[in-house]
Chains A and B, each alone.
Chain A
Amino acid sequence: NAGVTQTPKFQVLKTGQSMTLQCAQDMNHEYMSWYRQDPGMGLRLIHYSVGAGITDQGEVPNGYNVSRSTTEDFPLRLLSAAPSQTSVYFCASSFGPSVDGYTFGSGTRLTVV
């Protein structure tokens, strides 16, 4: 099925560990974004990309790293996990955000202990 695929769905990390959240889309979308969702905070933009090789920071980028080597993939790296990074992470992609909005993945629930 076409869409945005996120892996893993659940993850528990210890403080200081690193990991990569995977995101892949098969819709040939140029625009991709990562959000985190926290209770009472809505969704906040972490990083975004407007095409392969181009990334930029969003509202809450600290502690996260991204790269975009292909159109399809947009992994999010946690460099040294902290309890404050416990959250639900969503990846999203779009052909034209102003007209079409974004298509979201099903999310990764991350707990840092």
Chain B
Amino acid sequence: GNSVTQMEGPVTLSEEAFLTINCTYTATGYPSLFWYVQYPGEGLQLLLKATKADDKGSNKGFEATYRKETTSFHLEKGSVQVSDSAVYFCALSDSGGGADGLTFGKGTHLIIQP
């Protein structure tokens, strides 16, 4: 079956530090990959996505590259801000159309200190 593994944290960084949140996956097909962000008390928001190998998703300074050879989709940002403090979820949708929903990692709690 499908699964997603990500570092759980909490990850605590200082403002302007470089961020990497690791995500690896196992899938039976050729999945699409996503990063979602959840701010306190809110639902999940799509941050970025990649639908095929070597695609790079980017949004709001965050980037992630779909690496099929290492089955990874690590999230990076060059300079984090206090406002980036949130929980980040890596997820996949399999090649069967994703009709049966997303498979999520357990989430990484990111804390940015001023």
The stretch of B64-72, B76-84, B103-111 in contact with A is B103-111
A70, B107: Cα distance in complex, Å? 32
Count residues of A near B (Cβ-Cβ below 8 Å): 29
A53, B113: Cα distance in complex, Å? 49
A45, B101: Cα distance in complex, Å? 7
Do most interface residues of chain A lie in helix, strand or loop, or is the interface mixed? strand
Count residues of B near A (Cβ-Cβ below 8 Å): 28
Instruction: Let me know if A98 and B98 touch, CB within 8 A.
Output: yes
Q: Pick the contact of A90 from B32, B43, B49 — CB < 8 Å?
A: B43
Instruction: Let me know if B101 and A35 touch, CB within 8 A.
Output: yes
Instruction: Let me know if B95 and A97 touch, CB within 8 A.
Output: no
- By Cβ-Cβ distance, the 5 closest A-B pairs, closest first, are A97-B98, A42-B106, A104-B43, A45-B101, A98-B98
